[in-house]
Amino acid sequence: MGTYIVKRMLTIVPIFLIATLITFGMIHLSPVDPAEAYLAAANIQPTAEMLAQKRQEFGLDQPLLVQYVNSVIQISKFDFGVSYVTNKPVWEEVSSRLPATIELTLASLVIAIVVSIPLGFLAGVRKNKEIDHFSRFLSYFGASIPSFWFGYLLIFFFSVKLDLFPVEGIGTWKHLVLPAITLALPLIALYTRLLRASVLENLQEPYVLFARTRGIHEKSIMGKHVLRSAISPMITGLGMNLGKLMTGAIIVEAVFSWPGFGRYFIEAIFNRDVPVIQCYVLLAAGLFLISNLIVDIIQMYIDPRISREGRQFQ
Amino acid sequence: MIERLGVMVRSQKVIVFCSVILALFLLITIFAPWIAPHDPNLVNVTAKLQGSSLAYPLGTDHLGRCTLSRILYGARTSLGFATLIFISSLSIGLIIGLIAGYKGGWVDQALMRFADGVMAFPDLLLVLGLVGIWGAGLRQVLIALIFVQWVYYARIIRGVVLSLKEQSYITAAKISGSSQWKIIMKHIIPNVLPPLAIMATLEMGWAIMHLSSMSFLGLGVQPPIPEWGAMIHEGKSYIRTNPLLMVYPGLMIMLVVVTFNLLGETLSERFGLNTDNKEGRVK
Q: Do B246 and A277 touch (CB under 8 A)?
A: no
Residues 6+ apart with CB under 8 A from A202: A208, A225, A226, A229, A230
Nearest to A284 among B121, B278, B282 (CB): B121
Cα distances from A145 to residues B55, B205, B282, in angstroms, run 30, 11, 11
Indicate the angle between helix axes A242-256 and A261-271, nearest 10 degrees: 80
- CATH number assigned to the domain comprising residue A218: 1.10.3720.10
What is the Cα–Cα distance from B242 to B236, expressed in whole angstroms? Answer: 9
Query: How much is the ipTM here?
Result: 0.79
Do A110 and A187 touch, CB atoms closer than 8 A? no
Which residues in A lie closer than 8 A to residue B125 (C-beta atoms)?
A: 243, 246-247, 250, 280-281, 284-285
**Whose CA is closest to A30, among A66, A60, A70?**
A60
Q: What is residue B92's predicted lDDT score, i.e. its pLDDT?
A: 92
Among chain A residues, CA nearest to B214: A251
Q: What part of B 5-44 touches A (C-beta under 8 Å)?
A: none
pLDDT tier for residue A98 given thresholds of 50, 70 and 90 = confident
Any CB–CB contact under 8 A between B232 and chain A? yes
Best of A17, A22, A83, A288 to substitute, by most chain B Cβ atoms within 10 angstroms, is A22
Q: Is residue A311 part of a domain?
A: no
Residues in chain B predicted with pLDDT less than 50, given as ranges, are: 275-283
Cα distances from B129 to residues A80, A83, A99, A248, B142, in angstroms, run 15, 15, 22, 14, 13
Over residues A250-272, mean pLDDT: 86
Buried b (16+ CB within 10 A) or exposed e, B241-267: ebbebbbbbbebbbebbbbbbbbbbbb
The 3-state DSSP class for residue A183 equals: helix
Residues 6+ apart with CB under 8 A from B65: B38, B40, B41, B42, B43, B44
The angle at the Cα of A182, spanning A180 to A184, to the nearest 5 degrees, equals: 65
| Fold type of domain B83-282 | MetI-like fold (1.10.3720)
pLDDT tier for residue A312 given thresholds of 50, 70 and 90 = very low
Which residues in A lie closer than 8 A to residue B148 (C-beta atoms)?
A: none
Q: Where are the alpha helices (DSSP H) in A126-260?
A: 130-144, 147-154, 173-203, 206-213, 218-220, 227-230, 232-240, 242-256
Q: What is residue B84's predicted lDDT score, i.e. its pLDDT?
A: 92
Q: Is residue A32 part of a domain?
A: no
**Whose CA is closest to B204, among B82, B94, B90?**
B82
Which residues in A lie closer than 8 A to residue B131 (C-beta atoms)?
A: 269
Q: What is residue B89's predicted lDDT score, i.e. its pLDDT?
A: 92
Over residues A254-264, mean pLDDT: 85
Q: What is residue A69's predicted lDDT score, i.e. its pLDDT?
A: 82
Please say if the pLDDT value at position A11 is more than 50: yes
What are the backbone dihedrals phi and psi of residue B281, each rounded to the nearest 5 degrees, phi first?
-90, 120
Residues 6+ apart with CB under 8 A from B21: B255, B259
Q: What is the pLDDT of residues A133-166, one digit of tens each?
A: 888 888 888 888 888 889 888 888 888 778 777 7
Q: Do A30 and B217 touch (CB under 8 A)?
A: no
Q: What is residue B282's predicted lDDT score, i.e. its pLDDT?
A: 36
Cα distances from B104 to residues B108, B155, B165, B276, in angstroms, run 5, 13, 11, 22
Residue B279 DSSP class = G
Q: What is residue B274's predicted lDDT score, i.e. its pLDDT?
A: 52
| The amino acid at B51 | G
Q: Is residue A265 part of a domain?
A: yes
Q: Do B122 and A246 touch (CB under 8 A)?
A: yes
Q: How far is A28 from chain B (nearest CA, A)?
A: 10
Q: What is residue B50's predicted lDDT score, i.e. its pLDDT?
A: 72
Q: What part of B 163-192 touches A (C-beta under 8 Å)?
A: none
pLDDT tier for residue A226 given thresholds of 50, 70 and 90 = confident
Average pLDDT, chain A: 81
Please say if the pLDDT value at position A280 is more than 90: no
Q: Which residue segment(s) compose the domain that A238 sits in?
A: 96-270
Quickly count: other Cβ atoms within 10 Å of residue A212's Cβ.
Answer: 12
**Whose CA is closest to B131, among A170, A122, A32?**
A32
Residue A46 DSSP class = -
Q: What is the pLDDT of residues A13-69, one digit of tens each?
A: 887 888 888 888 888 777 777 777 777 777 777 777 877 877 777 777 777 788 888
**Whose CA is closest to A237, among A290, A201, A193?**
A193
Which residues in A lie closer than 8 A to residue B116 (C-beta atoms)?
A: 15, 18
Among chain B residues, CA nearest to A152: B236
Burial of A167 (0-12, 13-18, 19+ CB in 10 A): middle
Domain count for chain A: 1
Nearest to B129 among A147, A233, A281 (CB): A281
